[in-house]
Amino acid sequence: MQFSSLIETFRFLDFIDIMTVAVAIYFVYKQLKDTRAVSLLKGLLVLAFINVVSHTLNLYVINWILQQGMTVLLFALPVVFQPELRRALEQLGRGRIFNRAQNVSEAEMDSAINEVMAAARVMSREHTGALMVFEREVGLGDYIDTGILVDAKLSRELIRNIFVPGTPLHDGAMIIRNGRIMAAGCLLPLTEDRTLSTELGTRHRAAIGLSEQADCVVVVVSEETGKISYTYGGHIYRHLPEDQIKEALRTFMERPRQTITSMWKWGGSK
């Protein structure tokens, strides 16, 4: 079909059709980018690409295996993406589809880091346990939903109030998104690593567990020892001076896309 004839036969309903599909794709993207499901989606796209390549190159065995696997995945996807589907329907009912996340400047993020470390310093002296999560590129919407929505400007005073022993939110984690406290009292997954030191309690194991599943950075204040540590990539970094922890947070949060392997030499291990 010639391009000119395509234009001539193009109807207003065709435009509506295309826009509807575009909005649907955008909606799906908005839902997935805020959850761990985006990693699963990337894996599916890789499998689809391999399937196309194997079909083009006539790799019959690989192509047959992938086609059988894709058939199984079609039935498994509703189960795998059940939390995201539920949230999407809830947001559709509440009219929150097109909420847009705001970016945060480097100065604002630096201020947030300073406030967190100032609060951690005081809680360390008082032996007040705390879990403070910095969200990065992998959304933590699943875990935000397990706590109480706060969506407040971050300050050291508010952080300390959240973690006051005996208050409703002190046992859970506080999640920071774009320099703001999004939620508190959040439940985090515990790591299943059996090689961890017995010195590490539930709070540290939860920090490690979340960092195994997302690219977040978690600051931990030990209730028993008062020591401040942080976790990233399933590793815990302990016995570090405050300035070093603060610099690590700056590197992770203000320059999130840069290579971070050089920081792993700063000590700490599972």
What's the pLDDT tens digit per position in 56-78? 888 888 888 888 887 887 787 77
Burial level of 1, CB count in 10 A (0-12/13-18/19+)?
exposed
Contact present, 133 and 140 (Cβ < 8 Å): yes
Coil vs helix vs strand at 133: strand
DSSP string, 2-30: -HHHHHHH--HHHHHHHHHHHHHHHHHHH
The contacts of residue 2 (CB under 8 Å, 6+ apart) are none
Contact present, 221 and 123 (Cβ < 8 Å): yes
pTM higher than 0.85 for the full model? no
- CA 109 vs CA 62, 167, 181, 185, 195: distances in Å: 47, 27, 12, 22, 34
Per-residue pLDDT tens listing for the chain (270 residues): 565 666 667 777 878 888 898 888 777 776 666 556 667 777 778 888 888 888 888 888 888 888 888 788 778 777 776 766 665 665 565 454 444 445 678 889 999 999 999 999 999 999 999 999 999 887 888 899 999 999 999 999 999 999 999 898 998 999 999 999 999 999 999 998 888 888 889 999 999 999 988 889 999 999 999 999 999 988 999 989 999 999 999 998 875 544 344 444 444 445
Contact present, 238 and 268 (Cβ < 8 Å): yes
Burial level of 108, CB count in 10 A (0-12/13-18/19+)?
middle
The one-letter amino acid code at 206 reads A
Residue ranges and CATH numbers for the domains of the chain are 3-94 (no CATH), 106-266 (3.40.1700.10)
